[in-house]
A and B are shown apart, each in its own frame.
Chain A
Amino acid sequence: MTETSLTLLKGTVDLLILAALGEGELRHGYGIAEWIERSTGGDLLLEEGTLYPALHRLQRKGLLSSEWGTSENNRRARFYRLTRRGEAARVNALKEWDRYARAVSAALKPGAAR
């Protein structure tokens, strides 16, 4: 792992949050950060503070709901989950991302059709 890991494209944070909370997962902010780290193998360098404005923005848009609960280490923490609209947005966003990623990598592949 190097210090020059990939910086995030704009809008990707929202996508990662939605993905982290898929299938009814209930996570606090730090849990989401750990999930990202784990599932990307540490390749993405995320400034962890940026998660929080995004979480609150998604909550304002009605994609997330939150409640206070107790963490594994017995501390008070705010847990987030997807709302029904959030779940729909997640499915949609993953599909969109898939198409986007495939299109971009096809274009960048050496010897791509011209």
Chain B
Amino acid sequence: MTTRLRGPDVEGADAAREEIDFHIECRAQRLISEGWPEARAWEEARRRFGDPDRVRAEVEREMTKRRWTMRMRAWVDGLGADLRVGLRQWRKDPGTLVLALITLALGIGATTAIFSLVYGILLRPLPFPQPDRLVALWVDVTERGGPDREWWGYPNIHDVREEVEAFHEVGIYSGWRPVLTGRGSPSQLAGSAVTAGMLSEVLDVQPILGRLFRAEEDVPGGPAVAVVSHRLWQDVLAARPDAVGETLVLNGTTFEVVGVLPVGFEAPIQSGSDIFGLVQLDAAALANVRGNFSWRAIARLAPGASLDAAQAELSALAGRLEQEYPEHNTGMGFTVSGLRNDLVAQARTALILVMAAVALVLLLACVNVANLLLARNSTREGAFAVRAALGSGRARVVRQLLVETGILSVAGGLLGLGLGVLGTRGLVALAPTGTPRLEAVSVDLRVLAVTVLLTLAAAVFTGLLPAFRVGRSDLRSSLVGGGRGDSGSAGLRLRAGLVVVQVGLAVALLCTAGILTRSFERLRSVDLGFEPRGVLTFFLGLPGEAYQDGDARGEFLQALEERLGALPGVEAVGGVTALPLAGFDGDVDFRLEGAPEPELGRQPTAWIRRVTPSYMEALNLRVIAGRGITSQDLPGTPPVMSETSGSGTTGDPPSTSPTASIPAGRCSSRSGSPRAWPPRRWRPPSGPPWRKWIRTSLPRPSAPWRIGSVRHWDPTASWPGSSAASPRWRSFWPWWACTAW
């Protein structure tokens, strides 16, 4: 009988029969000794025993069950032993272990982090009921040489809202950044002005306190009411359950809080919005701004309506309005697209590319680890051969190797997960402002599941290759070879193959990296028309009644510029309402003096930025003709226009215009793509509050501190608006970090 390693075996049918025969014989002998005749005694013994075949069958069933239990126990014991052996093996070879762990952790960590980002931005559904019914609405002005996704003039979108039946409700919105006073130091809030149905009908959100807006409130002169985010309710209203009915002073007007939104609510339109107010516009009174691009819109499709039906209705309406208002709407189309796709359209290709690159990196990591393990195990072939000779089955050897690589991949997976969590946070922190849906990015359970799957895949991949190598190796050649190094050409071929794969993947990655670096370099060397190096920015709000008046604002700004300019290391200080390449302060149709009347629908449009006199100096904007803005320029004097707006409108040399043309923003549209639409104009100060400031040449490390210190200079409350400077400064950091180097 052969002894096998899996432990004591259970006897079979013979043993059961022997036991039964013994029993019946004993009983018969007993009866005989009691005086029964022999034949009767045997009969009686059998009768008392019952059916021996049935008993034997039952006993055998029990024996089979017992055999399985013992096998299972032996397997688990063996697994424990394998684990101990595996850990000991790794302790003997810490170099390989550390190398393999680092490789796996980096591969898995990078994949987790990038996947979290891609999942949060591209794959995760929008957090609203029936998110696939949400759509974004755009004005298409490609016919006029503009972009295909322009914002709306209020009367146009109002008509869409009134007339298109494929929409359950159209929500119109625009950014609203009121300054909150009367509750601690003044602060600037991020918010949106929306139409009444935006929250309740389009986004279909339920307030946790109070109510949302009513349609009858959304009229000119309607009540000043606001809905606040959970965050604002906690921070400003102290999370009081009776907060509804409280008032907030915003830009000097008293607003009543009517509702509080649930925790985690992020409007897909303007992320980070803490306060929502009503638009309260009269479309009829705004007839002359039909051609503007100041409002954005999203909508919820009506039940049963398809995207195509909505597009058809929109196109029909666009055609009709073009007839009706040729002076505004010529060359203007309306389009609709799914909201989620719309939000991520610009980032999709890039993220998928990055995802593919990272998957390659993970593959490379797996190949690396496999090669590492293969090299390591080839030196142990002799030992495995000896084990096989002692009766250890191939399955056992394979299992032990799998356990060893399992230890490696579990450890690597955990490390990778840690790296992934850190990496995700890092990526979110580094992402440029304006990256869509960034608030939805977090390492969640599904990402965790993907990581675990990756770890398992890595384990099987790295574990099986060496296991089959060892499993196939034949005893004699291993022993004759003395277990020194890799034996057999099959092993060499396999490892050579792995090296080829490694090199191939590495070359592909290097090429990709090279191309990306090259485009980054080109992007950096694009002539922006100004000098971003050394420019620091921060955000400023001037609240309340004290600054309603333009003169008060002007004085404040002048005083602030003087004080900032007096700081050591500051070369120039200037202010602008919207930073170059970022932000928007409104647009306007214009015509150069002496230029012929443009065709309908061909009016040039320009973005406006209002600046302080030293703005151009602060940015080192080059004046290519005429002159720049000076402190003598009063409101109403002619503007300075950019090179692109000048050349786009007339064939005349810019010098014939009354003001100078300056090159600014060849990389000029909101999306950041190099498009000349719309050109911008620079105008002397007038009108609304000053919001953005630029100043130059502070030593970089100390900059945030110094800007934060602005508010402390003058404790006599003459700098109320600067309270918002410090936090805003931080949010602009990524832009600065990218372009100032």
Contacts and interface: CB of A to CB of B under 8 A. Distances in A.
The 6 closest A-B pairs by CB, nearest first: A49-B50, A56-B62, A53-B58, A49-B55, A60-B66, A30-B26
B52 A77 contact: no
Interface stretch (B12-20, B281-289, B398-406): B12-20
Contact of B27 (A48, A59, A77): A48
Interface string A55-95: 01101100000000001010111100000000000000000
Interface in B8-37: 15-16, 18-20, 22-23, 25-27, 29-30
A46 B27 CA distance: 13
B584 interface: no
A47 interface: yes
Contacts of B27: 30, 33, 48
Nearest to A28: B22
Interface in B589-648: none
Nearest to B66: A60
A47 B69 contact: no
A50 interface: yes
A97 interface: no
Contacts of A77: 19, 22
Given A49-B54, A50-B55, 15 more contacts: A29-B19, A30-B27, A48-B48, A49-B51, A50-B50, A52-B59, A53-B59, A53-B62, A56-B62, A57-B62, A59-B66, A71-B26, A75-B22, A76-B18, A78-B15
B54 A73 contact: no
B63 interface: yes
Contact of B63 (A30, A56, A73): A56
B49 interface: yes
Contacts of A30: 22-23, 26-27
A73 B52 contact: no
A52 B55 contact: yes
A52 B48 contact: no
Interface of B: 15-16, 18-20, 22-23, 25-27, 29-30, 48-52, 54-55, 58-59, 61-63, 65-66, 69
Contact of A52 (B20, B26, B29, B30): B20
Given A33-B23, A49-B20, A50-B55, A56 B49 contact: no
Contacts of A78: 15, 18-19
Contact of A29 (B15, B23, B51, B62): B23
B689 to A, nearest CB: 84
B50 to A, nearest CB: 4
B29 A48 contact: no
Contacts of B58: 52-53
Q: Kindly name the residue among B15, B19, B50, B51 whose own CB sees the greatest number of chain A CB atoms within 10 A.
A: B19
B55 A60 contact: no
B23 A48 contact: yes
Nearest to A75: B22
A29 B15 CA distance: 13
18 contacts: A29-B22, A30-B22, A30-B27, A47-B50, A48-B48, A49-B49, A50-B50, A52-B20, A52-B55, A52-B59, A53-B55, A53-B62, A56-B66, A57-B62, A60-B69, A73-B26, A76-B22, A77-B19
Nearest to B63: A56
A6 B257 CA distance: 85
Contacts of B50: 47-50
Interface string A27-38: 011100110000
Contacts of B61: 53
B42 to A, nearest CB: 14
A80 to B, nearest CB: 10
Nearest to B23: A30
Nearest to A76: B18
The binding surface of chain A is classed by DSSP as: helix
Contacts of B65: 60
A36 to B, nearest CB: 12
B469 to A, nearest CB: 40
Given A30-B22, A77-B22, A48 B62 contact: no
B54 to A, nearest CB: 7
Contacts of A47: 48-50
Contacts of A53: 55, 58-59, 61-62
A63 to B, nearest CB: 12
A103 to B, nearest CB: 32
Contacts of B22: 28-30, 71, 75-77
B19 to A, nearest CB: 5
A24 B363 CA distance: 63
Contacts of A49: 20, 49-52, 54-55
B600 to A, nearest CB: 95
A50 B55 CA distance: 7
Nearest to A31: B26
Contacts of A28: 19, 22
Nearest to A72: B26
B656 to A, nearest CB: 105
Contacts of B15: 78
A47 B18 CA distance: 18
A76 B11 CA distance: 15
A34 B48 CA distance: 12
A2 to B, nearest CB: 15
B77 to A, nearest CB: 15
Contacts of B29: 73
A52 B19 contact: yes
A101 to B, nearest CB: 26
A25 B20 CA distance: 21
Q: Kindly name the residue among B26, B52, B65 whose own CB sees the greatest number of chain A CB atoms within 10 A.
A: B26
A14 to B, nearest CB: 13
A57 B64 CA distance: 11
Contacts of A48: 23, 27, 48-50
A7 to B, nearest CB: 13
A90 B58 CA distance: 24
Nearest to B69: A60
B704 to A, nearest CB: 71
B587 to A, nearest CB: 85
A113 to B, nearest CB: 42
A46 B435 CA distance: 83
Nearest to B55: A49
Contacts of A60: 62, 65-66, 69
A106 B676 CA distance: 102
Q: Kindly name the residue among A30, A34, A75 whose own CB sees the greatest number of chain B CB atoms within 10 A.
A: A30
A30 B25 CA distance: 10
Q: Kindly name the residue among A28, A59, A60 whose own CB sees the greatest number of chain B CB atoms within 10 A.
A: A60
Contacts of B23: 29-30, 33, 48, 52
Contacts of A56: 59, 62-63, 66
A30 B30 CA distance: 11
Nearest to A45: B48
A76 B63 CA distance: 20
A49 B59 CA distance: 10
Contacts of A59: 62, 66
Interface in A6-41: 28-30, 33-34
Contacts of A52: 16, 19-20, 23, 55, 58-59
A33 B26 CA distance: 11
A76 B49 CA distance: 19
A21 B20 CA distance: 19
